[in-house]
Each structure stands twice: as C-alpha cells, then as structure tokens.
Structure 1
Amino acid sequence: MFRLGVNQIARPNGARNYATLREIEMRLKSIKNIEKITNTMKVVASTRLNKAQRAMQASRVYHESDSEFYKNAELEQPETEGNTLLIVCSSDKGLCGSIHSQVAKYARKRIEELGGKVDVVAVGEKVKAQLLRTHDDKLRLAFNGIGKEAPNFHEVSLIADEIAKLGKFENTEILYNKFVNSVSFEPSNFSVFTSEAIEKAPGLSKYELENEETTEAFAEFSLSNSLLTALAEGYAAEVSARRNAMDNASKNAGDMINRYSILYNRTRQAVITNELVDIITGASSLD
C-alpha cells in the first residue's frame, strides 16, 4: 500500500503559502520587539554614561594625587620575583561587547608572565567565570554585585578590607579596562605599593611619615583609591561599550526589518496572485 510522506501530506499549495506568510509576519514582529528593547537599552546606557564619566574624572583626581606622592617619595617599582596579587576588575553585567573577555585575556597573559607565584582576586562575576575556566587554582577571592551603579569609596573600602585579610604580598597589581574615549577602551594595570615599600622610599622624609602605623594606613588608603579608580574607569568603559553594542544591535535589527518587510510584501503579493489565478482558472472552466 502506497503511503505519502509527512512532507507530501502537509498542506495544499495555498495553505503552504499562508503558513510561510504567517511565519514571516511572526519573525518580523519578533525583530521589531528586539529593536525596541535594544533602543531602550541604548538610551539608558547613554543616560548613565555622563554620570559614569563624572565618577571616573573624580576618581582620577585621587589616583593622580597618589601618583604624585609616589613620585616625590621616589618609590621604586617592586620586583616581580616575589609573591604577586592580581586584582582583576570587571562587573556582573553583560551585553557590552568584548569588555569582560579582554580584561580576562589580559589577566591570563599577566599570570603567565609572572610565573607560578600569583594569586588572583576577581572583582565581578564575569571575569570570575572566565578565569575559573583556566586558572581556578589561582583564584583566592571573588566579589559580586559589581557594576549596577557607579562605584563609590565606601564600596571599594569594603573590598579593600577583605583583600587585606589575605595577608601580605610583595607585589600587588590592579588590572582593569581603561576608558580611552566613547568608542574604545584598553586593558591596563598599575601597581599598588605596600607599607614596607613606602617606608623604604628615599624621599619619604619630605612628608614626615616615618611612623609605621601612618604608612600602613596610607597603604590601605592607597589601595582603596586605586580600586576606586580601576572600577570607575571600568564602569565608564562598560557603559560606553554597552551603548555602542546596543546601537549596533538596533541598526542590525533595522536592516533585518527592512529585509523581512520586503520578503513579507513579496510573499503576500505572490499569495494574492496565486489566488487570483485560481479564481480566474475556476471561472474559465465554468464557461
């Protein structure tokens, strides 16, 4: 007994055309909804960018003050042979291009350069997830809840206090995404000097900070300042990257809407033409 296949018994030609037209219409509606979402996210990111840039500029003032102190105190760059702590700054939020993967890639490269004596602190879920894939044995501490708002000193002070509980390290480096301009960023790093390095600085006598407790407090304060600068730079770069990513997504969605609109109109015209042909053929056969 002859049996038709599934595709053969699906529907007549007219039904198939209607189904195709319906599928295109649903696809077109879905893309339009996505375009609305990406446009809204772009507007939100644009609004946040000004606030993020103001926070970044404010944090740079403190970091520049620290850098000026280090320069006047004639602190030397720490040796890389000792135990090193890498603090990798990112956030918990996605949809911002390659910003998280770039700083994670930079961190992996830095770990390989430093050798075996490296411990890692991940600030942000995104970079933590990426570093766990390759260097889970190096990860000592991780923080989440990062990137919802522009960072503040109270937030980074709590992070610095937890990092201080890990113990003493000869070298400490902070890795972050440096905001270059509204369309670009670059993974960067800077060193944070320990209280021992500050005490040994030749020019420290200029500031009369020879008290050990004073230098210890300054080292902790400097770590908080550095974290604030890194997180503020990264937050501005992330918001800018998210705005650009949503802008590109909106443009791509617009192009797809144009293509599907043309396809929908052509398919609809073909359905109407086929129906007219059937009507005319039927009327001719009656004659």
Structure 2
Amino acid sequence: MSSLKVIKSRIKSVGNTKKISQTMKLVSSAKYSRSQKELIQARKFGVCPKLLFDYTELQPNKSPNSQLFVAITSDRGLCGAINSDKIILVASEVGKKSLTFIDAAPKFPLYDGINDDTIDCWLEFSITTMIYWIIKESSTSEYAARMTSMENATKNASDMIKNLSLEYNRTRQAVITGELIEIISGASALK
C-alpha cells in the first residue's frame, strides 16, 4: 500500500498533465478550424487536374515504367499514429500510376492545338496545386489527429485521477481504521 503523500503527489501530477492535454486539445482545435478553412480553398485547385481526367475519360496505365511517391508526414509529435498510417498508405499505392496532362492532351477538345509550352505550363501548375492541396490535407489531418490524441489523453488522465483518488481514499480509510483499532485496544488494555 502506497503512502498517502505519494498518492496525493501522483494525483496532483496527473491533474497537471490533464490540464496540459486539455489546453493542447483547445489549441489543436483552433488550428484545425483555421486549417480546414484554408483546405476548402486549396481543394478547389487541387481537384482541377482530376476533373480534367474525368472530363476526358482517361484510364490510368496499369503497367507503369516508373513512379514517384511523395509521402508527406508530420514533423511534430503528439498526434497518434498518423505518420505510420501514411507510410502504410504510400506502400499500398505501389504499382498504381497517376494520369498526366500529356495523357489527356489528345482528348482535350477545347484547344485547336496544344503545344509543348501549354503542356509544360499545365504540368507545372497541376503538380504545384496538387502538392499544395496534399500538404493542406496533411496539415489538417495532423491537427485533427492531435486533437483526438489530446482528447484521449485527457480522458485517460481523468480515469487515472479517479483510480488514484479511490486508492487514496481506501488507504486513508485503512489508516484511520488501524488508528481506531489501536485506540480501542489501548482502552481495553487499561480496563
């Protein structure tokens, strides 16, 4: 049985941790809201290349010669397993190929002729906007994951405080019971 002082110290320590995790959750919540607003704007540009391929009804090449995978992960902690989930997702995409503007150019009827400058400009624009969109998606999901992690940490701290308080009360009750037994035994011995 732990001493009352040690248990009380642990309750205070876990209480401080709970306050920190609650504050971090609130900060993440505010950052998530701001990031979500920015994501809505970025998503408009990020889906533009996808709409082009949907419009031209192109299908991806099933046997690609080469691929480039860009995994955008968080460089900060306290956000759960979000980074490992992303790495698993990237690994599962091996063998698939994205469409490019060059694939769509022959089927794109809005221009009479598409020259190399147009293709280069569109490729640069679509890659830049898709990467920006992916970074915004990653950032927003990181804040959401951190918010969830801090909520879970706060809940776990509350559970620990509840269990420690129960242990503290039981220990305190055992100490009081022991003292009462000593007093009663001493009174009986005097008679």
The TM-score normalised by the length of structure 1 is 0.59
Mapping of residues 136-285 of structure 1, within 5 Å: 191=98, 193=100, 196-197=102-103, 201-204=105-108, 206-207=110-111, 210-285=114-189
What is the deviation of 1:82?
0.5
Structure with greater proportional strand content: 1
- Length, aligned pairs only: 191
Of structures 1 and 2, the one with the larger relative CO (CA 8 A, separation 6+) is: 2
CA distance in 2, matches of 1:72, 1:101: 35
CA distance in 2, matches of 1:59, 1:83: 28
What is the deviation of 1:94?
2.4
What is the deviation of 1:273?
1.9
What is the deviation of 1:206?
1.8
CA distance in 2, matches of 1:24, 1:79: 62
CA distance in 2, matches of 1:206, 1:225: 21
Q: Is there any run of 5+ residues in structure 2 with no aligned partner, and where?
A: none
CA distance in 2, matches of 1:98, 1:26: 31
What is the deviation of 1:257?
1.2
- Higher alpha-carbon deviation: 70-79 or 245-254: 70-79
Q: Look up the SS of the partner of 1:28 in the other structure.
A: helix
CA distance in 2, matches of 1:266, 1:31: 19
Q: Does residue 29 in structure 1 map to residue 29 in structure 2?
A: no
Aligned residue in 1 for 2:71: 88
Question: 1:149-204, CA deviations, whole angstroms, 9 ceiling, x for partnerless residues?
Answer: xxxxxxxxxxxxxxxxxxxxxx5xxxxxxxxxxxxxxxxxxx362x6445xx2234
Q: Look up the SS of the partner of 2:146 in the other structure.
A: helix
CA distance in 2, matches of 1:41, 1:209: 55
Inter-CA distance 221–64: structure 2 relative to 1 (3 Å threshold): same
CA distance in 2, matches of 1:94, 1:209: 50
Q: Does residue 41 in structure 1 map to residue 38 in structure 2?
A: no
Instruction: Output the amino acid matched with 1:46.
Output: S
Aligned residue in 2 for 1:58: 41
Q: Is there any run of 5+ residues in structure 1 with no aligned partner, and where?
A: 1-16, 115-170, 172-190
Q: Does residue 102 in structure 1 map to residue 6 in structure 2?
A: no
CA distance in 2, matches of 1:103, 1:68: 25
Indicate if the aligned counterparts of 1:73 and 1:206 stay in contact, CA closer than 8 A.
Answer: no
Indicate if the aligned counterparts of 1:192 and 1:222 stay in contact, CA closer than 8 A.
Answer: no
Q: Look up the SS of the partner of 1:87 in the other structure.
A: coil
Identity %: 35
CA distance in 2, matches of 1:278, 1:214: 94
CA distance in 2, matches of 1:69, 1:109: 25
What is the deviation of 1:76?
4.6
Q: Does residue 20 in structure 1 map to residue 23 in structure 2?
A: no
Aligned residue in 2 for 1:167: none
What is the deviation of 1:72?
4.1
Indicate if the aligned counterparts of 2:59 and 2:99 stay in contact, CA closer than 8 A.
Answer: no
